[in-house]
Chain A
Amino acid sequence: MTAERDEDEMKRIRRRRSVALGIALAVFAALFYAITIVKMGPAIMNRPL
């Protein structure tokens, strides 16, 4: 019974850690998107392929 509860608790902690890492990576990606737009300007979207 206790072992099961511990197992659940561990899963919960791991999950929370994974979510935090996911959010951090998403923020990092969004930040670099914003930096790119600011440094290069929206004209970056108009370049011919």
Chain B
Amino acid sequence: MALAADTDHEALERTPSQVGDYVTLLKPRVMSLVIFTALVGLFVAPGGLHPVLAGTAILAIAIGAGASGALNMWYDRDIDRIMSRTQNRPLPRGRITEEEVLVFGLTLSAMSVATLGLATNWLAAGLLAFTIFFYAVIYTVWLKRSTPQNIVIGGAAGAFPPMIGWAAVTGQVGIEAWVMFAIIFLWTPPHFWALALFKKSDYEAAGVPMLPNVAGERATQNHILIYSVVLVASGIAPLIVGMAGWLYGAVAVGLGAWFLWLAFDLWRTSEKDQMKKVARSLFRFSLYYLFVLFVALAADHALGLYLGAAQ
């Protein structure tokens, strides 16, 4: 152990942390989803925001999300060494020191919240601060290693960005913002449980209590099916609360039907290898599902604006 620490130290002396390592700490792939959903929240909100302020808001939300990713990597440095998916992160590889990561995460958190508050309003900034706290403390420190319901509650952190975008424009949080929150919140569990089904051994080795490891594969398949039904219903909610029209409705129903089919297919599969295969395709499709649903929401809104202007 001491030898490993010494080797790490020597490695650090040889190569200082590079710019790319800092970018990796921000979890760019997670960040891209945050930017996208926040952008949609900001776009579909009634009223307007000056392009400079809108751009600043998106940048602040993205940096805030990145900062929470860095804080997550700082805390999870022990288990990141074990899981194949995370072994190449800068901290487990010894390319950066713990202190650098912590200071980087905290500094960016403070700067992003302050920037959002000054550029838009303090409700949006407060929501961003809460999101960072929720992901870095409630999820990473508390829930992730203690309960198989970790991602159910932790999913809220990923669900806040469109709400923050909405609040940045309107200065309040309406039913529409809650609907967008609900879609991502309900999407997270089936998405990650599908991942956990085919990465089960990884989570097992790291001691993270994901549902398949704790309750078994059958229970996970049941959970995924139930959550998928509720998710698809929430996907149609924008139509019901009047924030979207037929274009969105058609997309939501079509995508929802496919999502349910995959969840059902997974539920009825008991052979291990086949089950992993279906879980992988559900995981992949769930990414498209969320992306296309939010594209449809924005497209529907744009169509409404266009038709409104044409009349």
Contacts and interface: CB of A to CB of B under 8 A. Distances in A.
Contacts of A13: 15-16, 18
Interface stretch (B49-57, B127-135, B227-235, B302-310): B49-57
**Dominant secondary structure of chain B at its interface with chain A:** helix
Interface residues of B, number: 16
Contacts of A31: 56, 59, 115
B19 A16 contact: yes
Contacts of A6: 14
Given A35-B52, A38-B50, A17 B15 contact: no
B119 interface: yes
A5 to B, nearest CB: 11
A11 B118 CA distance: 37
Contact of B15 (A10, A16, A34): A10
Interface string B1-38: 00000000000001111110010000000000000000
A17 B118 contact: no
Nearest to B17: A17
B105 to A, nearest CB: 15
Q: Which of B16, B53, B111, B115 has the most CB of A within 10 A?
A: B16
B53 A35 contact: yes
B16 A17 contact: yes
Nearest to B13: A10
B203 to A, nearest CB: 34
Contacts of A38: 50, 52-53
Nearest to B51: A38
Contacts of A9: 15
B50 A16 contact: no
Contacts of B119: 35, 39
B202 to A, nearest CB: 32
Contacts of A28: 111
B124 to A, nearest CB: 14
A6 B15 CA distance: 8
A34 B104 CA distance: 25
A20 B14 contact: no
A6 B56 CA distance: 40
A14 B17 CA distance: 8
Interface of B: 14-19, 22, 50, 52-53, 56, 59, 111, 115, 118-119
Q: Which 8 A-B pairs have CB atoms at the shortest separation, nearest pair first?
A: A20-B19, A38-B52, A38-B50, A34-B52, A35-B119, A13-B16, A13-B18, A14-B16
Interface of A: 6, 9-10, 13-14, 16-17, 20, 28, 31-32, 34-35, 38-39
